[in-house]
A and B are shown apart, each in its own frame.
Chain A
Amino acid sequence: MEKFISREGLVAPLDRANVDTDAIIPKQFLKSILRTGYGPNLFDEWRYLDQGEPGKDDSKRPLNKDFVLNQPRYQGAQILLARENFGCGSSREHAPWALLQYGFQAVIAPSFADIFYNNSFKNGLLLIKLDTKIVDRLFKESEASPGYRLAIDLDQQSISTPGGEHFSFEIDAFRKHCLKNGLDEIGLTLAHADKIKAFETGRREQCPWLFN
């Protein structure tokens, strides 16, 4: 996984609650056996006017000009501002893949769904939970000022607005460590291989029915 580097980025506001992973990346794109190629189909049903299919040339498809990511002012956005319960529904990891491959590096929302939250951090996509009132303000500010950017400092666990305000955010120490160093979590777990083997041996004795 790529290291997360603290940086500033253009903000795109997606003003709806309960954005589910079916909306983030529709099912037809889940047929791929690859990890890449999902960016053009992020929010496919909202982004295009026709129906997307694997193998279709997305650059030739008609765009829904009303959709926030199609507006000229949000081109090149790296930070997605969202509402509560972002990423609910299906466990598809294709959702954070699509967000990252589109160019997002962080999503800010009042709350995230559990599996999506896990999946995102495993891929280096930073999810920042902020109080609903702060998120409300960021929505208003970003919509009012074209070119609105936020600076994210992972070390300090803080975001800064163009007006010089700072908001701190919580992040689990282990997730932060993995994100900052781009660590392979499997490697970290395998450092406990002896413990896992010992646990397994005990379990095999206590619950032999689990080891057929």
Chain B
Amino acid sequence: MVAQTLYDKLWQDHLVHEDADGTGLIYIDRHLVHEVTSPQAYEGLKLAGRKVWRISSIVATADHNTPTKDWNKGIMDPVSRLQVETLDANIKESGALSYFPFRHERQGIVHVIGPENGATLPGMTVVCGDSHTSTHGAFGCLAFGIGTSEVEHVMATQCLTQKKTKAMQVVVDGVAGPGVGAKDIALAIIGKIGTAGGTGYSLEFAGSAIRALSMEGRMTLCNMAIEAGARAGMVAVDDTTINYVKGRPLAPTGAVWECAVAYWRTLKSDDGAKFDSVVTLDAAAIQPQVTWGTSPQMVTTVDGFVPDPAKEKDPIKREGIERALKYMDLKPNTPIVEIKLDKIFIGSCTNSRIEDLRAAATIARGRKVASNIKLALVVPGSGLVKRQAEQEGLDKIFIEAGFEWREPGCSMCLGMNDDQLSPGERCASTSNRNFEGRQGAGGRTHLVSPVMAAAAAVAGHFVDARKL
């Protein structure tokens, strides 16, 4: 038998039909739904007189628009409120396996609640009208973001039409140094292959440094696969995966659990499987990363410098750097550690899980947020993450240091609620996109890990968290 990649196996296990030209019809096991990309899909379904094919595949929550404070006041913005209420009504009418509405104790960011409730299980196809669905690939899933037309398509047919991508293996071997985490690995990969480097591919992350990551770390890594342009990112199933899944509310139990585990253990690339492309990185060489521009590939190390466009020979790239530096209000050759911040955001589907908050808290403990920082936000990824953090006393550490401890949601990652940057404000953010205006019109975003964000909060500027 031909040695298969993990992607080959997942593809084959979900292939309902294949046309002569290679267009496949893929069965979807889990459909995660949120308020922003679903209303037009439900409306389309209704207008066509169609019903949801398999209600039990749908797990839904409200996360993008929801406020992160004063929950007792509800959602003040009427436009946001209507969108969230529309989801409430659509779920009430069409049904779901689980729904975690605004203010539910298990509500949270869709890519956090899926895994923590066992709604994401190894070997699944997982889709959501959200590009960061790649997160779920951490469980050996084929997981990818889709648009609203495809949300409607999955609701109506439980399937999607697509062609198989190429497969890229990203091998990270060695031991990452202390203070270097999954976010740094992710940004280092994007720095190496570029934001279009993964276009046309599904990525499998492999190597000893990946095996050593917790599930939280693997989710951070797979989450950022989309920022490399890839359809999906994934990690093979191992004990870490299975131990994480065990006991989750929607995970199987008893004899079915044993049967599932036996299957899940096959979810890895075979020895000798051929990848269309292989990229390798040495974990020991990866330093804490900081983005300086308006694309995640515009990244350097904390001991690095803002690049000098004069040194770039390619005119389009040079213009890109110049435009980014103008937007970011940065001068060429400035040391990264001299960049001062206005706001700090610790949260998002990239870095809002318990391990992220613990890591940030190690830096915040016994320190104070610098006086030039106007706002330092910690936004847990879900109600469960929040509760666990509070049980561990992390909330008190953050609050004593001068951070604000908020309710869960997407928050300032994209600023659909009140958590935004004002024009010109500069933010150290644990989120995933530093695009122009992403966190608020005119706002300037630097992507970093949770420890680097916490360190920037207490120093008031970027600093190597390992030196604090």
A-to-B contact residues, CB < 8 Å: 16-18, 20, 22-23, 26-28, 30-35, 45, 51, 54-55, 83-85, 88-93, 96, 111, 113-115, 118-119, 122-123, 172-174, 184-186, 188-190, 192-193, 195-196, 199-200, 203, 206-212
Q: A195, B17: Cβ atoms under 8 Å?
A: yes
Q: A115, B86: Cβ atoms under 8 Å?
A: no
A-side contacts of B77, CB under 8 Å: 31
- Stretch of B21-29, B167-175, B300-308, B388-396 contacting A (4+ beta carbons < 8 Å): B21-29
A-side contacts of B48, CB under 8 Å: 184, 186
| A113: nearest chain-B partner, CB-CB | B229
Complex: A32 Cα to B39 Cα, angstroms? 9
CB proximity of A201 to chain B, nearest CB, Å: 11
Q: A88, B229: Cβ atoms under 8 Å?
A: yes
A to B CB contacts below 8 Å, 17 in the list: A16-B323, A18-B195, A22-B414, A30-B416, A31-B416, A54-B79, A85-B196, A91-B133, A91-B145, A111-B199, A113-B196, A115-B145, A122-B147, A173-B21, A188-B161, A189-B153, A196-B16
CB-defined interface of B118-136 with A at 8 Å, one 1/0 digit per residue?
0001011000011101000
The verdict on B260 contacting chain A, using a C-beta distance below 8 Å, is yes
A-side contacts of B231, CB under 8 Å: 114
B-side contacts of A96, CB under 8 Å: 147
The verdict on B157 contacting chain A, using a C-beta distance below 8 Å, is yes
| A199: nearest chain-B partner, CB-CB | B16
CB proximity of B54 to chain A, nearest CB, Å: 8
The verdict on B399 contacting chain A, using a C-beta distance below 8 Å, is no
B-side contacts of A184, CB under 8 Å: 48
CB proximity of B451 to chain A, nearest CB, Å: 26
The verdict on B359 contacting chain A, using a C-beta distance below 8 Å, is no
CB proximity of A90 to chain B, nearest CB, Å: 5
Q: B195, A26: Cβ atoms under 8 Å?
A: no
Complex: A188 Cα to B39 Cα, angstroms? 23
Complex: A28 Cα to B437 Cα, angstroms? 11
The verdict on B200 contacting chain A, using a C-beta distance below 8 Å, is yes
Complex A-B, nearest 7 residue pairs according to Cβ-Cβ distance, in ascending order: A93-B147, A119-B147, A209-B252, A122-B149, A33-B39, A91-B145, A91-B131
Which of these, A20, A118, A173, contacts B147 with CB under 8 Å? A118
Complex: A45 Cα to B421 Cα, angstroms? 14
| A117: nearest chain-B partner, CB-CB | B199
A-side contacts of B179, CB under 8 Å: none
A-side contacts of B316, CB under 8 Å: 17, 83
A-side contacts of B375, CB under 8 Å: none
Complex: A20 Cα to B433 Cα, angstroms? 10
Q: A208, B256: Cβ atoms under 8 Å?
A: yes
B-side contacts of A84, CB under 8 Å: 196
A212 with B157, Cβ < 8 A, contacts A33-B83, A54-B79 known: no
CB proximity of B401 to chain A, nearest CB, Å: 29
Q: Which of A114, A172, A184, A188 gathers the greatest number of chain B CB atoms within 10 Å?
A: A114
| B123: nearest chain-A partner, CB-CB | A207
Q: A172, B163: Cβ atoms under 8 Å?
A: yes
B-side contacts of A203, CB under 8 Å: 27
Complex: A96 Cα to B102 Cα, angstroms? 29
| A174: nearest chain-B partner, CB-CB | B23
CB proximity of B278 to chain A, nearest CB, Å: 20
Q: Which of A113, A118, A186, A207 gathers the greatest number of chain B CB atoms within 10 Å?
A: A186
Complex: A27 Cα to B417 Cα, angstroms? 10
A192 with B16, Cβ < 8 A, contacts A89-B131, A89-B433 known: yes
The verdict on B430 contacting chain A, using a C-beta distance below 8 Å, is no
CB proximity of A194 to chain B, nearest CB, Å: 10
CB-defined interface of B211-255 with A at 8 Å, one 1/0 digit per residue?
000000000000000100111000000000000000000111000
B-side contacts of A193, CB under 8 Å: 157
Complex: A111 Cα to B50 Cα, angstroms? 35
Q: B146, A22: Cβ atoms under 8 Å?
A: no
Complex: A16 Cα to B259 Cα, angstroms? 52
| B86: nearest chain-A partner, CB-CB | A33
Complex: A54 Cα to B416 Cα, angstroms? 12
Complex: A49 Cα to B107 Cα, angstroms? 37
| B432: nearest chain-A partner, CB-CB | A89
A-side contacts of B124, CB under 8 Å: 210
Complex: A83 Cα to B319 Cα, angstroms? 12
A195 with B16, Cβ < 8 A, contacts A18-B295, A27-B415, A45-B437 known: yes
Complex: A193 Cα to B54 Cα, angstroms? 13
Complex: A35 Cα to B251 Cα, angstroms? 36
CB proximity of B160 to chain A, nearest CB, Å: 8
The verdict on B269 contacting chain A, using a C-beta distance below 8 Å, is no
The verdict on B309 contacting chain A, using a C-beta distance below 8 Å, is no
B-side contacts of A90, CB under 8 Å: 130-131, 414, 433
The verdict on B281 contacting chain A, using a C-beta distance below 8 Å, is no
Complex: A45 Cα to B161 Cα, angstroms? 34
CB proximity of B334 to chain A, nearest CB, Å: 22
Complex: A124 Cα to B26 Cα, angstroms? 22
Q: B152, A186: Cβ atoms under 8 Å?
A: yes
Q: A23, B147: Cβ atoms under 8 Å?
A: no
